[in-house]
Each structure stands twice: as structure tokens, then as C-alpha cells.
Amino acid sequence: MASSSRNKAIIAAIFVVISSILLWLELFGIVPFLVLILAFFTLVIQVGLHLAGYKHGDVFEAYQDAERTEATSLTNLLKHKQDCNEQQDSADKSRQESR
């Protein structure tokens, strides 16, 4: 069962708090610091995914959607550029014929 991004963010926030407390109490050496870094960035990513609308998705799904959108926009850009060039060529021909 896949967890929602909200649940992942809540769990990451709990780990941030626990590791911050352990770091403040100077317990377990460097481990709380490493957990704090990992949990913080997980929290930031999962909150961003949740706010972006990927409630049950993961980072890879968001990446695929972004790449798909970029590919579609580039395709549309090239298609419209060719259409514009064809219209400009036809306008140039009509100007030359009218001379």
C-alpha cells in the first residue's frame, strides 16, 4: 500500500523533531544530525509534492510529468514555428506576385 505524500510529510516532521531533540541533548553522536538532514529534505519534497497535487504519487511520477510537459511544449513550439514559417513564405510569395 502506497502512503500518501501527506503521511510521508508528517512522519518526516516527527523525525525532524525527534532528531532535533536528540541533537540538542547531544545523544547518539552524529546519527541525529544525519537523520535530521534526511528527514528535513524528505519533508520539503513531500510537502512540495502534496501542494503540487501529487497526493499519492512519488518524486519519479512528478519528474515524468514534468518531462512529458516539456516534450509536449517543445513539440508544439516546433509545430507552430513551422506553421508561422509557412504563413510567412506564403505572404512573401503573394507580395512578390503583386509587384
Question: Both 21 and 40 in a single domain?
Answer: yes
Q: Among 8-12, 19-23, 63-67, 90-94, which stretch is predicted with the lowest mean pLDDT? A: 90-94
C-alpha distances in Å from residue 11, one per residue of 23, 41, 56, 83: 18, 12, 15, 51
Question: Both 47 and 1 in a single domain?
Answer: yes
Question: Both 43 and 70 in a single domain?
Answer: no
Question: Both 48 and 74 in a single domain?
Answer: no
- Tell me how far apart the alpha carbons of residues 97 and 95 are, in angstroms, rounded to a whole number: 5
Question: Both 16 and 38 in a single domain?
Answer: yes
Question: Both 52 and 82 in a single domain?
Answer: no
Question: Both 42 and 62 in a single domain?
Answer: no
How many Cβ atoms sit within 10 Å of the Cβ of residue 39?
21
Q: What is the pLDDT of residues 22-75, one digit of tens each?
A: 999 998 889 999 999 999 999 998 888 888 887 776 777 888 888 888 888 777
Phi/psi-derived region of residue 28, left when phi > 0, alpha when psi is between -120 and 50, beta in every other case: left
pTM of the model as a whole: 0.63
Helix (H, G, I), strand (E, B) or coil at 37: helix
Look up the domain containing 15 and give its range. Answer: 1-56
Q: State the total domains in the chain.
A: 2
